[in-house]
Chains A and B, each alone.
Chain A
Amino acid sequence: MFKSPNQVQTMLVPAGLLMAALVLGAGYVQAEQGTGYYGYGQTATPEQIAGWDIDVRPDGLGLPEGSGTAEDGEWVYEEKCASCHGSFGEGVDGYPSLVGGEGTLSGDGRPHKTIGSYWNYTSTVFDYINRAMPYTAPRSLEPDEVYSLTAYLLFMNYIIDDETFELNQDTLATVRLPNEPNFIPDERPDTANTRCMTDCRDPAAIEIKSQATPSLADELAAEAAETAETVEPPAQLAVVGKSVYDQSCMLCHGSGLAGAPKVGDVAQWQGRVAVGSATLYKHAIEGYQGEAGVMPAKGGFMNLSDDEVKAAVDYMVQESQ
């Protein structure tokens, strides 16, 4: 079998000597190079590991130093979480609700799964908030904030009753969630269909139980119309933009005819670009009367699709930076 040079050397010299030899022999090899069979990469230092090793386990392993109470958490929650999850954890605009749902897991109704009704470990609450929330600014919370938010959500779910109970490295794992005993291992395969080929069932007993709303024809027609207008795939937009510009816009915008801002003239475009592309698109598509003159709708080329005009605008802006 093919052997890497490293391995050949490893067989001849002890690892320590090998490292030394590599360091001396090749200037670019750093002391912390990986020491495995291939030796690629660098040894991860404890400081590096600590920075990324954010995970927390049910037994509390991985929890950082710090502490917090539900009392503290209420304020942080109101400021950083309530806009999506609701002041009472009820969830707004379709964002997840974080409380309630006790007793909904079995029976006929819809299950409502929350920290209180469904999750199995407190550590998961801490870990998830710390790694992913708040949604728009993940990894922005201090450990104390995460402890207090965890405490607050446990309080809101009636898991802890004392608003001043201090959650920290030692206490967090002692708080248990009610649904913990109800998780079981995978039991599949749990179905046993057989391969029947003929007379497999009574045709008379076949009944349609449910049917998707067949509004598809309309939808497809609408999409076909839409895609017919935007035939150019996005990757070619730059190319499209230039060709549309060359044939439909250069007329005025190449020379500054009729008062049109000249493409390539940064000063003439600066102010317009600053207003934002939405306005530029609108003006280019619908036309408008400005101080410098009249920009006809689509430059007069009504056969251009909106997307083609937009592509031309993008191209013009890009050429005038």
Chain B
Amino acid sequence: MNKQAELDSLLQQVAVSGEKLTGTDRRDFLRKGLTFLGAATATAAAGHMPTVKAALPPEEPAYGKTLGKPVLFAPYGSPSKYESHVQRRTVEWLTPDRISSISFTPLADLKGIITPSGVMFERYHAGLPDVKPQEHHLMIHGMVERPIILSMDDLMRFPSVSKIHFVECPANGGMEWRGAQMNRLQFSHGMIGCAEWTGVLLSTLLEEVGVKPEGKWILAEGADGSHMSRSIPLEKALDDTLVVYAQNGEMLRPEQGYPVRLVNPGWEGNTSIKWLRRLEVGDQPWYHREETSKYTDLMPDGRSREFTFVQECNSVVTNPCPEKPMMKPGKVWVEGLAWSGRGKIKHVDVSFDGGVTWREAKFTSEVFPRALTRFGLEWDWQGQPAMIQSRAIDETGFVQPTYGQLRAARGENSIYHKNAIHTWKVNADGSVVNVQIS
């Protein structure tokens, strides 16, 4: 065979292989030296339906008739490829580029109360930095007796604690102040995640350096290009602030501040500085850009509240939601998430008629302070239109407000701290829409 003929025959072969790589062709194909993985690809490309049919009894599914992949096929595992729709997403018009930007947690597809680290929302102000743990250091100085610089190894020698807490951007839901706008749960409530955080109590480090009596505030600063900085009252720092290096059992993900970040439980996510490099003790707040130009709340009278740290009690129904419409009439397990920066969730009530009557939901997860809490209740849906709401009450007795109450107190220009009772409108066709009602 000359070269051209060889090529022609080869091309013919591969063309055939691409088109119909099933049944007897597959047998020929295998004989021609191509591995069976090609068949798997072709089957996948053909869509899921045939596989599903073949898997129903009395048929034996294909994966029961072959060997699977060996161990260490994926030394660090990933979610099933069939879950690839579960992704962080962004809303392009929110920011001029993706460097100082935000992506949202896919709440509709998540279970329980722990957010998988890989889909926890991202917020960067100067992009995602590549921080080498061997190079990274944390400096603690200012009004202290013994200013120190800690390497990551040094930091990780201190006694550690592990706590489950949510981290929420105070702008979560901020696009909804003036009216319902985002057409999915991911965008209406997805600037939140909850994880088990492991690290050192900041109080331990502050004891180590010895805070002078004049010390009242702490400046926390990041190592990335934005050098994100926030002033934190010493009271909080001595209470429950964590200097965190691990999340959900492994070292922090880069997106979450690897190798070290702050976590201020229950407070504005922005104060939980990522890529933490510096803590300075002082006697006054610093009034930096992220606590003046941003993260202050403009009231209708033109005045602005500053240092509004706490993320107040909030909740949302996660099933149904726009991404998870009603499938068919019958019994439905309605569930959702509730959280409060002031402590534990005490009750969650759910209404199906826009707030006329309410039923108390059950907690279906553990209830931790300043953590996401999962609730659920059964609903008999007979195809009628409905307005589903959830209303959380925390251990301080605070009841999640209505939009009316929130706007009466703060107008519509606040941007941050929108925790109003949310309404999903269920249509007769089962679709679910984000609405705001009178």
Contacts and interface: CB of A to CB of B under 8 A. Distances in A.
Whether A and B are associated in the same complex: the answer reads yes
Nearest to A54: B227
A222 to B, nearest CB: 11
A40 B74 CA distance: 38
A55 B286 contact: yes
Contacts of A3: none
A244 B3 CA distance: 25
Nearest to B179: A210
Interface stretch (B151-159, B246-254, B370-378): B151-159
A289 interface: no
Contacts of B399: 192-195
Nearest to A189: B398
A57 B35 CA distance: 67
Interface residues of A, number: 112
Interface stretch (A17-25, A73-81, A144-152, A211-219): A211-219
B284 interface: yes
A53 interface: yes
Q: Main secondary structure on chain A at its contact with chain B?
A: loop
A58 B287 contact: yes
Contacts of B287: 57-58, 120-121, 123-124
A95 B101 CA distance: 12
A206 interface: yes
Given A41-B151, A186-B307, A300-B17, A211 B312 contact: no
A206 B183 contact: no
Given A40-B158, A187-B305, A210-B180, A247 B35 contact: yes
B225 A132 contact: yes
Interface stretch (B55-63, B190-198, B234-242, B406-414): B406-414
A16 interface: no
A186 B229 contact: no
A183 B78 contact: no
Interface string B301-337: 1111111111010000000001100000000000000
Given A124-B289, A185-B305, A189-B398, A206 B227 contact: no
A224 B85 CA distance: 7
Interface in B65-80: 73-74, 76, 78-79
Contacts of B11: 296, 300
A190 B304 contact: no
Given A189-B312, A201-B356, A232-B81, A49 B147 contact: yes
Contacts of A64: none
B300 interface: yes
Nearest to A308: B41
Given A55-B229, A138-B226, A193-B400, A294 B7 contact: yes
Nearest to B40: A243
Contact of A34 (B148, B207, B405): B148
A36 B209 contact: yes
Given A52-B139, A183-B296, A57 B284 contact: yes
A42 B35 CA distance: 58
Contacts of B6: 257-258
A220 interface: yes
B5 to A, nearest CB: 11
A195 B87 CA distance: 36
Nearest to A234: B78
Contact of B84 (A115, A233, A298): A233
B288 A55 contact: yes
Contact of B96 (A95, A208, A217, A308): A95
Contacts of A105: 298, 302, 304
Contacts of B280: 53, 55
Given A34-B146, A239-B74, A128 B289 contact: yes
B358 interface: yes
Interface string B389-428: 0010100001111100110011001000100000001000
A64 to B, nearest CB: 15
Interface stretch (B256-264, B361-369, B429-437): B429-437
Contacts of B353: 203
Interface in B1-35: 3, 6-7, 10-11, 13-15, 17-19, 21, 34-35
Given A52-B139, A124-B289, A209 B323 contact: no
Contact of B278 (A52, A93, A127, A182): A52
Contacts, number: 332
B51 interface: no
B150 A41 contact: yes
Nearest to A183: B306
Contacts of A294: 7
B18 to A, nearest CB: 4
Contact of A132 (B76, B84, B207, B226): B226
Given A106-B302, A193-B405, A236-B78, A208 B435 contact: yes
A3 to B, nearest CB: 12
Contacts of A228: 47
A247 B14 contact: no
Nearest to A299: B14
Contacts of A42: 148-149
Interface in B280-302: 280, 282, 284, 286-289, 292-293, 296, 298-302
A111 B412 CA distance: 10
Contact of A200 (B34, B82, B157, B357): B357
| Nearest 5 CB-CB pairings of A with B | A300-B14, A106-B302, A210-B179, A94-B96, A36-B208
25 contacts: A38-B158, A42-B148, A44-B148, A49-B139, A52-B277, A55-B288, A58-B287, A110-B413, A121-B292, A127-B286, A131-B229, A132-B125, A182-B303, A184-B305, A185-B305, A188-B308, A193-B400, A194-B399, A211-B434, A213-B183, A217-B431, A236-B81, A246-B35, A257-B10, A300-B13
Interface of A: 34-38, 40-44, 48-49, 52-59, 93-95, 105-106, 110-111, 113, 115, 118-121, 123-124, 127-128, 131-132, 135, 138-139, 179, 182-203, 205-217, 219-220, 223-224, 227-228, 230-233, 235-236, 239, 243-244, 246-248, 251-252, 257-258, 293-294, 296, 298-305, 308
Given A183-B296, A183-B303, 18 more contacts: A38-B158, A44-B141, A94-B95, A95-B96, A105-B304, A111-B298, A131-B229, A135-B126, A185-B305, A185-B306, A186-B308, A195-B391, A199-B357, A200-B355, A205-B438, A211-B434, A233-B81, A303-B41
